[in-house]
Amino acid sequence: MGEISETSRFQGRVVKIFSDKRGGFISPDDKSDDLYFIASQVEHDKFGTLKPGYVVTFTVGQSKDG
């Protein structure tokens, strides 16, 4: 992904959804490592509509835990 800032937008596909943990994984199009996301960070509260294979646009950030 090169240099990452929290304003850089990337594309990828949803790989896995964990509805019980309210999170999942995205595989970036640039073939870098999969990224974990949490439902509270999904815009417009659309977590419930996500399915594996969906194309998404995302930004990368860090949680307060790193």
Q: What is the pTM of this model?
A: 0.79
Classify domain 9-57 at the CATH superfamily level.
Nucleic acid-binding proteins (2.40.50.140)
In this structure, are residues 15 and 52 in contact, taking their beta carbons and an 8 Å threshold?
yes
**Distance between CA atoms of residues 38 and 33, nearest Å:** 17
pLDDT in tens, 34-63: 999 999 888 888 899 999 999 999 998 877
Average pLDDT, the chain: 87
- Bridge partners of 59? 9
Does residue 7 surpass a pLDDT of 90?
A: no
- Domain segments of the chain as ranges: 9-57
